[in-house]
Structures are given as structure tokens and as C-alpha cells.
Chains A and B, each alone.
Chain A
Amino acid sequence: MATTYEPIATTTLGTAAASITFSSIAATYTDLRLVIVGTGTTNNTYPLFRFNSDSSSLYSTTRLSGNGTSASSVNNAGTGLLVTINALLSDTIPSMWTLDVFSYAGSTHKSSLATVSADRNGSGAIERAVGLYRSTSAITTVAAVMASSTFATGTTATLYGILKA
């Protein structure tokens, strides 16, 4: 059977970092999947996801969020994929962030699906988001960029490639 789920690159932060970037991504896969587990150096921070180092206003998201009390949905347009507003990085308890980018090497706009699992035993939240990057260029760089503060030491990020055949 063909290999269909491969690690492209992985990193574990040895020092705090304002962003985690995977570059020179080959166009040989069908979809991409990014998995991040970690904390922030400051409580209640969050990353934006950007592609191809593009910080223009080509990104939009629609989020479905639960904060333990109520469910809500909101959309956002901005300079990066904003996949959460409630499920924020803790500075002590690791949370999980996943981002699936579909047909990333194609010539149409790029859709994505994100999840954030950020329970804190008494607080925290869960979110799902659909994202759109309105660029027809193939994605060769994926970055998680902190809106403020930094990812803490020990945060891990792995980018996988998924092949359809």
C-alpha cells in the first residue's frame, strides 16, 4: 500500500518563539495536517495561521465555539486565520491545535479545518473553525504566528503530508 500519511517536518521548541514556520513544503502531497501541542509564555494568548508569509487581508474564518457555558459562532476576516477566540493558550496546561489544509498545491482558493482542544479543568474552551485563504498560489510555507507573546519552550509542532495515491 502506498504511504499516505507522512511527517514532513517536526519541531520541539528549545527556546520560546514568536512563531513556528514550516517552509519549502513540496507539492507532492494532496493535503497538509499541522498538529501543535503546547503552551504560551503568557496566559491567554493565541496564534494566527499564515501561508506563504502572506500577511495581506486574504484570510477568513467561521468559528464554532464552546466555553463551558454557552455555544457561539462568529466569523472573522483578517491577515491570518484566526481559529479561536475562546480556546486560548495557557501558560501552564498544554492544549492541542490541529489545522488541515486541503488541496494546498492547487490553483484554487485554499480551504482548511481547524480544531482547538483547550480544557483547563474548570475553565478553557473548545473550538472548531473553517478557514479560507483566497490565494491561487500553491502553499509552500505554513506558519503559526503568535498575535502577542511567544510559544513556550517544549511546544511541539508537526506537519504531515497526506497523499491521495
Chain B
Amino acid sequence: MPDVQQKARIRPLDELDIGGIVGIDEKIGGKYRPDFWEQRVVFYLRRDPDASRVAEVDGKVVGFMLGDVRAGEFGLEEPSGWIERFGIHPDFRGRDLGKQMFDAIVTHFRAQGATSVRTLVDGKEAGVVGFLNALGFAPSPLQALEISLKS
């Protein structure tokens, strides 16, 4: 068990965090996806490297939250902070790391002029929904719609 006294450091994402994020994702989802995470991390680093956050304990990445500020998409003219992906290593849950990363990313969104924070969630993921609710997210009038193109 990790030492619960070890203090977490919340800091901006960098390119050397890819391995750590791949490891957390694999721990959570059971799949090793380095190519996918390389593309996603580079995407966020080139758009706004100060926005996305990682939580580090004893020099190891144990959590991440990726997002950026966008405007003009889906008819939303005002800048909105979008949180796309996040994850916390199962051994480090219950330590408020998600909240700490969220607070840091929201501070940055505010400084960027964002007036709201948005995300999408699969309603069947009860744990994720609960986490987002605890952060203060509430259902939005905007609805996610889709059409399946599978034959």
C-alpha cells in the first residue's frame, strides 16, 4: 500500500508523463495504448500546455486530467473549458487528487476567460458520474446525440 502521508504535487502536463498516463489507463481499462496516448498528450501540449494537469506522488504520475479552452464549437461562442479525459491510479484514489487537479485546471480556464466548464460522460459509468457530480457538474441543456453507422 502506498504511504498515505506522501503529499501529491499537482503540476502541468509534460511530454515525459506519457508513460505514466499509459500505465494508469492500462491499470483502469486493462489495455496498453501507448500510440493513442502519445497522440492525445501531444494534442493538448500543442494547444495549451498550461491547462492539462497531472498528480505526482514521490516522482510518479498517479493521476491526470486533460482539457483545454475552446470557443465557437457547437454554436457555443463564449469560451468554455472542456475536460476530455482523466484518470487516477486505483491505488491512489480517495486522496482528493481528482478534486485538486480539477481546481487547478479550472483556475487556468478562468484565467483564459472561460465562463463554464463542460464534459461528456457515459451515463452507465456510475463511478465517473458520481465523481463529476461531486465536483459540481450538473446536467446541461445541451444534449449529446448520436446515430450508429454500424450496419
The answer to whether A and B belong to the same complex is: no
Interface residues of A (CB under 8 A from B): none
